[in-house]
């Protein structure tokens, strides 16, 4: 009976305030998640890796908005079960006993730090290693036989294979970082034999070797970080360059449209400003005319009053001249004292003549006033007729600016800004690729120096030939069971640290067959550890293992007309409940698999049978694959 336990993933849940829980359930044995691209399938693998200590934060996409916590339920073949909780933004973990997929209890909770530390018990890695019986193990770090404490991340590297790693043209024990190759190989040896490297005695390295090793380690970390950033941004360089050119052309066309909209908007503003000026001028002039007419009306009444007064004087003077002699009404002289030959200030005839002269002047003024009033009245009527048209012009221009020109300009500006932002992201990604190439070139130079200093690329020592032969036999049995072509001879090449299948190095196959053979390596390691009772995390996660059915990469890579796909699934269906394999695939599995409870279909269309992606959404779906 083995002292090593196995872990099984039981559920992955996303929780958020005022959001329905997004839960994916898994069972021991075989599981498959399938469906079209961009429905959130690969995000499951990313999230599980994240919840097993992978670096955060989780990548963003629209459906994930509003979810701030992730729950991962795990069961053990020893009978234990527990649930981990972690913020989507990264950081440490909370752990509670039992499986809780829709809420996290508030009692019985313990905290686990995210970083591995073999001197402390309060971290996730130590907890998981203790659960599977691998606590306090050490693995070889470099050729100087220096060792590191085993981290659960060393094991996850061999159990979780994403869609990029599964087609890489390198050993499954290599992640492209020379510094990590030795600990990766040491971890593989631990799983093959159950024996760690605690007994190794380190020997002193030369200063230049230490310096080179430090540089390689730093470059490896920088390359890993840059690759992670690239994964979160975009696709391969050629695709990015094409996208950059298309974006530049689109921005040029959009800029022309933006300039045209801005000119049209500016012209409309100028026209509205002119219309308002005319309207305000007309209203102001109408007010002035109204005031003048009121004043002239008052002046006309004054003129009329003067006319009436002067006519009274004239009529009175005429009557006075015809009357009999009497007391003078002006000087009060008696008739006998009146001297008609001498002028008098009250000469009635003179007064009459003066009144008539004044009446003539007033008549001229009244005539001029009448003409002016007529002109102003005509102007007022014209202004009143023009005002509705001026008001209508101003209103129409305002409505056109508000309802048509301003929205068009705003939409074009937003579209242009979005294109500029997207091009910025593309150029950032291209810059990251340039940085990555520079880092890889520098590392290649140091690796060559390392190889020359050590007398060539000697294979890592310590991989026992007997265990490798048994492992290769398990992989051969799996490949033959899958009806993989030319799988009659399989062995493990120590120098390449990879499989040789039918006399051909595994990395020499096309990417589709590399995906299948990488899957056989990962599933074979799980099966070998079960048969030999050696340690293993207990699960294997594979993203897009059947890529060749979708994208053949050469004549020897197109297996669409073989039964390998059916055989692949038939083999996994036979897995026992003491193992767990989770397949994430774009292509639909056979009908017999789709009808099984272990099969879950992801779709971007909520109307289809199956779930509309990882998150419960309505309408169109925009997720990550």
User: What are the tens digits of pLDDT across the range 295-347?
Assistant: 989 998 998 898 888 888 888 777 766 665 666 666 666 766 666 555 555 56
Q: Is the pLDDT of residue 354 over 70?
A: yes
The residue-averaged pLDDT of 36-56 equals 88
**541-576 per-position pLDDT tens digit:** 999 998 765 545 555 566 666 789 999 999 999 999
Show the tokens assigned to 587: 């292509």
Q: Are strands 81-87 and 69-76 parallel, antiparallel or unpaired?
A: antiparallel
Asked if the model's pLDDT at residue 590 lies above 80, the reply is: yes
- The answer to whether residue 214 scores a pLDDT higher than 80 is no
CA distances from 117 to 89, 122, 152, 497 (A): 21, 8, 11, 29
Residues 222-274 have pLDDT tens digits of 877 777 777 666 566 777 788 888 888 998 998 999 999 999 999 999 999 99
Residue 455 has pLDDT above 50, yes or no: no
What value does the mean pLDDT take over residues 439-463? 65
* Residue that is written with structure tokens 């752990």 in the block: 95
The string of pLDDT tens digits covering residues 517-542 is: 999 999 999 999 999 999 999 999 99
Burial class of residue 162 in the structure, from the number of CB atoms within 10 Å of its CB (0-12 exposed, 13-18 middle, 19+ buried): middle
DSSP state of 337: G
Q: Which residue is listed with tokens 């032969």?
A: 469
Q: Which pLDDT belongs to residue 612?
A: 67
Per DSSP, 102 falls in state S
Strands 599-602 and 29-35: parallel
pLDDT value at 166 more than 80 = yes
**What is the bridge-based pairing of β-strands 539-543 and 19-25?**
unpaired
* Rounded mean pLDDT, 98-114: 94
User: What pLDDT is stored for residue 231 in this prediction?
Assistant: 63
β-pairing, 539-543 vs 580-585, is parallel
The string of pLDDT tens digits covering residues 126-159 is: 999 999 999 999 999 877 788 899 999 999 999 9
Give 470's contacts (C-beta < 8 A, 6+ positions apart): 528, 532
Looking at per-residue confidence, does 502 or 430 come out higher?
A: 502
The Cα–Cα gap between 465 and 474 comes to 14
Both tokens of residue 555? Answer: 């004549």
Q: What pLDDT does residue 625 have?
A: 44
Confidence of residue 619 (pLDDT cuts 50, 70, 90): very low
CATH code 3.40.50.300 region(s) in the chain = 7-204+464-602
Q: Measured in whole angstroms, how far is the alpha carbon of residue 323 from the centre of its chain?
A: 113
406-453 and 237-322 helices cross at what angle (nearest 10)? 160
What pLDDT does 240 receive?
78
As a 3-state breakdown, the chain gives helix, strand, coil percent values, each rounded to 5, of 55, 15, 35
Closest CA to 332 of 345, 322, 323: 345
Cα distances from 247 to residues 256, 418, 553, in angstroms, run 14, 10, 29
More confident residue, 174 or 322: 174
- Determine the pLDDT at residue 218: 81
Contact 254, 416 (CB under 8 A): yes
pLDDT at 377: 92
Question: Is the preceding omega at residue 508 within 30 degrees of 0, hence cis?
Answer: no
Lowest mean pLDDT among 168-172, 213-217, 261-265, 455-459: 455-459
Torsion angles phi and psi, residue 39, rounded to 5? -120, 10
Q: Give the pLDDT of residue 29.
A: 96
Helix (H, G, I), strand (E, B) or coil at 377: helix
DSSP 442-453: HHHHHHHHHHHH
Over 80: is that where the pLDDT of 610 sits? no
Share of the chain above pLDDT 70, in %: 84
Alpha carbon separation from 296 to 289, 302, 364, 383 (Å, rounded) = 10, 9, 15, 19
> Is-contact 492 498, C-beta < 8 A?
yes
Q: How many residues does the chain have?
A: 625
Q: Residue 576's closest CA among 11, 30, 2, 43?
A: 30
CATH topology of domain 246-425: Helix Hairpins (1.10.287)
Q: What are phi and psi of 74, to 5 degrees?
A: -130, 140
Architecture of domain 7-204+464-602: 3-Layer(aba) Sandwich (3.40)
- The owner of tokens 């795990």 is 74
When the pLDDT of each residue in the chain is averaged and rounded to a whole number, the result is 85
370 vs 318, more confident? 370
- Kindly indicate the confidence band of residue 425, based on its pLDDT and cuts at 50, 70 and 90: confident
pLDDT tens for 488-518 read 999 999 988 999 999 999 999 988 899 999 9
Q: Under a CB-based contact definition with an 8 Å cutoff, are residues 366 and 303 in contact?
A: yes
Q: Which residues of 181-203 are buried (b: 16+ CB within 10 A; e: fewer)?
A: bbbbbbbbbbbbbbebbeebeee
The reported pTM is: 0.66
421: tokens are 């932002």
Output the pLDDT for position 2: 63
The pLDDT of residue 174 is above 50: yes
Helix axes 178-193, 406-453, angle to 10 degrees: 70
């Amino acid at each position: 009976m083995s002292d090593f336990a196995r872990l099984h993933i039981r559920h992955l849940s996303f929780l958020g305030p005022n959001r329905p829980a997004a839960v994916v359930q898994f069972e021991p044995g075989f599981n498959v998640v399938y469906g079209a691209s961009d429905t959130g399938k690969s995000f499951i693998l990313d999230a599980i890796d994240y919840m097993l200590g992978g670096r955060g934060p989780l990548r963003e996409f629209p459906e994930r908005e509003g979810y701030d916590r992730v729950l991962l339920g795990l069961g053990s073949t020893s009978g234990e079960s527990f649930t981990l909780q972690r913020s989507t933004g990264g950081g440490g973990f909370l752990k509670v006993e039992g499986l809780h997929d829709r809420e996290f209890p508030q009692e019985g909770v313990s905290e686990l730090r995210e970083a591995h530390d073999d001197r402390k018990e309060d971290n996730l890695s130590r907890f998981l290693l203790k659960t599977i019986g691998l606590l306090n193990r050490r693995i070889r770090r470099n050729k100087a036989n220096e060792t590191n404490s085993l981290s659960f991340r060393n094991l996850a590297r061999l159990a979780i294979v994403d869609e990029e790693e599964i087609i890489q043209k390198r050993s499954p024990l290599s992640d492209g970082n020379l510094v990590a190759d030795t600990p990766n190989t040491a971890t593989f040896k631990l799983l093959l034999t159950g024996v760690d490297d605690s007994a190794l005695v380190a020997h002193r390295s030369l200063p230049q070797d230490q310096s080179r090793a430090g540089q390689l380690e730093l470059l490896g970390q920088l390359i890993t970080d840059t690759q992670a950033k690239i994964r979160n941004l975009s696709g391969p360089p050629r695709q990015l360059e094409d996208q950059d050119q298309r974006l530049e052309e689109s921005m040029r066309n959009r800029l022309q449209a933006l300039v045209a909209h801005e000119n049209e908007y500016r012209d409309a503003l100028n026209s509205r400003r002119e219309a308002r000026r005319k309207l305000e001028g007309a209203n102001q002039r109408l007010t002035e005319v109204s005031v003048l007419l009121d004043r002239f009306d008052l002046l006309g009444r004054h003129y009329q009053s003067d006319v009436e007064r002067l006519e009274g004087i004239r009529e009175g003077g005429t009557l006075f001249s015809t009357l009999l002699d009497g007391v003078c009404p002006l000087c009060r002289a008696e008739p006998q004292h009146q001297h008609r030959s001498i002028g008098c200030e009250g000469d009635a005839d003179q007064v009459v003549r003066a009144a008539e002269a004044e009446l003539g002047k007033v008549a001229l003024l009244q005539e001029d006033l009448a003409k002016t009033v007529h002109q102003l009245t005509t102007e007022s009527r014209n202004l009143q007729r023009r005002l509705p048209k001026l008001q209508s012009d101003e209103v129409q221009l305002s409505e056109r600016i508000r309802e048509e020109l301003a929205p068009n300009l705003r939409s074009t500006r937003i579209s242009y800004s979005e294109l500029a932002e997207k091009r910025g992201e593309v150029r950032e990604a291209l810059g990251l690729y340039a940085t990555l190439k520079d880092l890889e070139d520098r590392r290649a130079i140091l690796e060559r120096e390392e190889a020359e200093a050590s007398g060539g690329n000697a294979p890592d020592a310590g991989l026992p030939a007997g265990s490798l032969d048994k492992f290769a036999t398990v992989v051969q049995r799996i490949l033959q069971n899958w009806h993989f072509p030319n799988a009659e001879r399989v062995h493990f090449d120590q120098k390449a640290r990879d499989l040789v299948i039918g006399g051909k190095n595994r990395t020499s196959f096309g990417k589709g067959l590399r995906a299948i053979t990488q899957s056989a390596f990962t599933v074979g390691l799980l099966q070998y550890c079960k048969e030999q009772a050696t340690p293993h995390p207990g699960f294997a996660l594979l993203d897009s293992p059947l890529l060749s059915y979708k994208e053949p990469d050469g004549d020897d890579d197109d297996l669409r007309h073989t039964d390998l796909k059916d055989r692949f699934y038939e083999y996994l269906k036979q897995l026992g409940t003491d193992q767990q394999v989770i397949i994430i695939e774009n292509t639909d599995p056979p009908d017999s698999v789709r009808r099984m409870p272990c099969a879950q279909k992801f779709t971007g269309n909520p109307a289809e049978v199956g779930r509309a992606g990882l998150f419960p959404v309505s309408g169109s779906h925009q997720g990550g694959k």
